Amino acid sequence: MRVELLWRTEAGNDAAAAKPLAMALWRPGPGWTMMSSGVLGGGLGAREWVLNAQIPGHYSRIDPAAHLAELAAGLKLDGPGVGLLTAAQVTDLVRRAEEGVQAAVTVGLRVPTWAAAPEGGTDPELAPIPGLSPEPDSAWKPGTINIVVSVPVPLTPAAFVNAVVTATEAKTQAVIEAGFPGTGTASDAICVAAPAGSAAHDIPEDFTGPRSPWGARIARAVHAAVLVGAIGYREKLGQSALSGNGPALRRPTPPTLARRCAEVASVRNVTMGGMFCPTGGAGKGGRSSGLCRVAGGWAGCGLGPAAALVRAAVWWGERAERSLRPPGAGR
């Protein structure tokens, strides 16, 4: 999946005029079938490109499909395609691959929500996370999680539907494990793409549930991408678990979790999800203490001890990986 990063400015929009807006474009060309919830090119059918376009926080257009069609025309995109919009930073796009499956994700979680919200009531859990809401006099900047998944084998229509379900479950798992109180945002969108398959031997896959071979790969790729994006979103707002500045994460570490941290720190290193996560010894102020504080943050957001510890180890591994990169190196 070759994703191009493009830029645009939009005259007549004060918020966008002074600041270029990014767009992520993937154009595999003819011969692909896609299922999407996008406002442009949604549904199931032949599609040749996917455009994920960033919009300003104060987006006022009420014709998003027409807007995306204008952007596609401006990029001279031929044939039918899929268009997605997001207020999240498209430049923070995260890509992950899993045995042929590729996922490209943009994550914005300013307003995480639970899917099953009480009707007509005020649910405090649907409000922005404490400490992450904007200042009263600042611009409100919503976010969205947009997911694009590419599978290298043809899929039946039912398998397309199942792939959407599997990817959505993986997204929700990652959002919760990253410490956000919700299943996603109210405007999340998805696109699943697979080759159309024309030869007689191109028998489409029937199963993409999380325990099928291709479904499991979809789940792992999407989960890894959304998890990195969600944790990065917290870090970008200065609310990482290690900073101590996030009110939502400053909770006492449960005793059970503290014991598990000590057990993990008793070995020299831990491997989680294929990542090397150094833990070192359990001495005072050592990595055991840091790991425990990170895990305690996620436990304070509602995760059980085991899940919180796994998330802490993955977070620590990502942090260590970034620290080893040369200055200026990308993700």
Neighbours of 91 (CB within 10 A): 12
Neighbours of 170 (CB within 10 A): 26
Let me know: does 309 contact 260? Beta carbons within 8 Å: yes
Would you state the pLDDT for residue 197? 79
The C-alpha atoms of residue 118 and residue 95 are separated, in whole angstroms, by: 34
Determine which helix (DSSP H) or strand (DSSP E) holds 96, and give its type and residue range. Answer: strand 94-98
Residue 321 or residue 307, greater confidence? 307
Q: What is the mean pLDDT of residues 6-12?
A: 79
Would you state the pLDDT for residue 12? 52
Among residues 190, 191, 200, 193, which one has the least CA distance to residue 155?
193
Would you state the pLDDT for residue 61? 86
Confidence of residue 254 (pLDDT cuts 50, 70, 90): very low
Would you state the pLDDT for residue 198? 72
- CA Rg, the chain, in Å? 21
Let me know: does 299 contact 257? Beta carbons within 8 Å: yes
The C-alpha atoms of residue 313 and residue 272 are separated, in whole angstroms, by: 7
pLDDT in tens, 21-64: 999 999 999 999 999 999 999 999 999 999 999 998 777 888 99
Confidence of residue 287 (pLDDT cuts 50, 70, 90): very low
Would you state the pLDDT for residue 91? 95
Confidence of residue 219 (pLDDT cuts 50, 70, 90): very high
Residue 2 has pLDDT above 90, yes or no: yes
Among residues 9, 12, 110, which one has the least CA distance to residue 57?
110
Let me know: does 93 contact 108? Beta carbons within 8 Å: no
Lowest mean pLDDT among 87-91, 131-135, 224-228: 131-135
pLDDT in tens, 74-120: 999 999 999 999 999 999 999 999 999 999 999 998 888 889 877 77
Backbone φ and ψ for 49, nearest 5 degrees, come out as -160, 160
Bridge partner list, 43: 36
Residue 328 or residue 199, greater confidence? 199
Determine which helix (DSSP H) or strand (DSSP E) holds 95, and give its type and residue range. Answer: strand 94-98
Mean pLDDT of the chain: 75
Neighbours of 39 (CB within 10 A): 17
Backbone CA torsion sign across 166, 168, 171, 176: negative
Upper half-sphere CA count for residue 89 (Cβ side, 13 Å): 11
The C-alpha atoms of residue 267 and residue 13 are separated, in whole angstroms, by: 55
- What 3-state class would DSSP assign to 267? coil
- What 3-state class would DSSP assign to 269? strand
Would you state the pLDDT for residue 315? 58
Tell me the domains of the chain and their CATH numbers.
3-236 (3.60.70), 247-323 (no CATH)
Would you state the pLDDT for residue 56? 85
Residue 279 has pLDDT above 60, yes or no: no
Confidence of residue 241 (pLDDT cuts 50, 70, 90): very low
